[in-house]
Amino acid sequence: MESKYVEEDISENPGSSSDHGSNLEDFEDQTSTHTPFDGIEPVRGYELVSFDAMNVPPPVIQVDEIPSEVDGQHAISIVENDARITEELAQIALLAHLKQHCCYGQAAAKHMKVKRLDYIPAYHYELQTFTEKRETAWTFSAIKPNVYEEQSSLGFPPLPWDIDAVPSQPFKDEVRLIPIPNTSAIKACHRCRGTGGVTCRDCAGKGWYRCIHCHGDGWIADSGGHRERCFYCHHSKQGHGHQDCGKCNTKGKVNCATCEGQGQIRCFIQLSITWKVHTAEHIVDHLSLPQDLIRDVSGQVAFEEESAVLKPIRSSSNEDISKASSLIVTNHWNSLAVDQKVIKQRHQIRIVPLTKVVYEWKQREHHFVVYGYENQVFLKEYPQNCCWGCALM
């Protein structure tokens, strides 16, 4: 018989947990000192599990699966596309940029004399590591009618990493909750002590509250001093001056929210699986642009690779990228593979075109940078600036 597991996908709300969470503060009632721990027998293989999430390290990986910082680098050759721009395109890009800002005049851009175009592209290296993390914790839920726990054919609970689960898609953050088979136990609700009801907070368990119109007197005086029975409470089952509590229907108790009035709850061990994308990057830019600008524009994807285990790349044409790749890949393995399982990795090198435009206007030299295939403009200073100290990006 094949084992089946009931799964709950909460990828739309990764921070959520079960119906009532796993915080002991949520389990306690002001009138009860009991906790869901009371009466729970230890479960084979999960003796140390509590209501606090406990990380379960993945099976030990082979040493030769971890890339070395020095040995085994992947030699690549980067071929760059020619993305140089002309003087005309540089002027068009600058004028389009100035139109978006009212404090800059356009005369300098229209009549500038371009002295030179320095093409100095930026290199953007990015590594993404897709990992899986598994945690276990006791939790509980109300007993649902006609809902039954799937049992393992083994007769005892499977270990956390023996439960099959795959992400909906690779390189996408996701959290999934799976009740572990053969770990559940039915017990009396700790909040209501098995009664199914708790004291109504609106009336403090009395079934009524003092009439707010006559202040409990049962009589109301009109402007002439004539007293008459209070219209709002004279039909109350609790007597004059009292109003029936509508929340508990005068019973003084309401259904316990923890067990939903059943008096019992199902305690079980829950497996929480977190798939997460960890990203690290390095940008080589000799024109000192803000990194966000380079990151947010398009460029040439000169190299990309995806594998279960990646080796650092080595490029003879760019030593900075080679060093960054070696450091980033090694750091990801050293920091992530300790308590998570590395499922897949991918990295790429983007070449973002940058052109420093040096121009002259009124016998003074200035410059700006055109970047990305979109021909965006980074303008740190401009000769026709009517707003003192304004810098435009």
Q: Quick check: is 310 in a domain?
A: yes
**Number of Cβ within a 10 Å radius of residue 208:** 21
pLDDT at 6 over 50: no
* Per-residue pLDDT, 24: 35
Q: Quick check: is 145 in a domain?
A: no
Give the chain's mean pLDDT.
83
* Per-residue pLDDT, 358: 97
pLDDT at 53 over 50: yes
* Per-residue pLDDT, 72: 60
Q: Quick check: is 106 in a domain?
A: yes
Q: Quick check: is 248 in a domain?
A: no
User: Where do the DSSP E strands lie in the chain?
Assistant: 8-9, 54-56, 74-76, 113-119, 122-142, 174-179, 185-188, 197-199, 208-210, 219-221, 227-229, 242-244, 253-255, 264-284, 300-307, 313-315, 341-352, 354-361, 364-371, 376-378
Rounded Cα–Cα distance for residues 135 and 133 (Å): 7
Q: Quick check: is 15 in a domain?
A: no
Q: For 12-21, 78-87, 257-266, 274-283, which range has the lowest pLDDT when averaged over its residues?
A: 12-21
pLDDT at 389 over 70: no
* Per-residue pLDDT, 300: 96
pLDDT at 4 over 50: no
Q: If pLDDT is split at 50, 70 and 90, which confidence band does 225 have?
A: confident
CA nearest 22: which of 249, 286, 330, 270?
A: 270
Name the residue range of residue 282's domain.
87-128+275-378
CB 261 within 8 A of CB 196: yes
Most confident segment among 87-91, 220-224, 225-229: 87-91
Q: Quick check: is 217 in a domain?
A: no
Residue of 35 and 88 predicted with greater confidence: 88
* Per-residue pLDDT, 350: 96
* Per-residue pLDDT, 210: 87
* Per-residue pLDDT, 28: 39
Q: For 78-92, 141-155, 198-212, 221-235, which range has the lowest pLDDT when averaged over its residues?
A: 141-155
- Total of domains in the chain: 1
Q: Quick check: is 303 in a domain?
A: yes
What are the tens digits of pLDDT across the range 73-106? 677 777 788 889 999 999 999 999 999 887 788 8
What are the tens digits of pLDDT across the range 302-361? 999 999 999 999 887 889 999 999 999 999 999 998 899 999 999 999 999 999 999 999
Q: Quick check: is 267 in a domain?
A: no
pLDDT at 156 over 80: yes
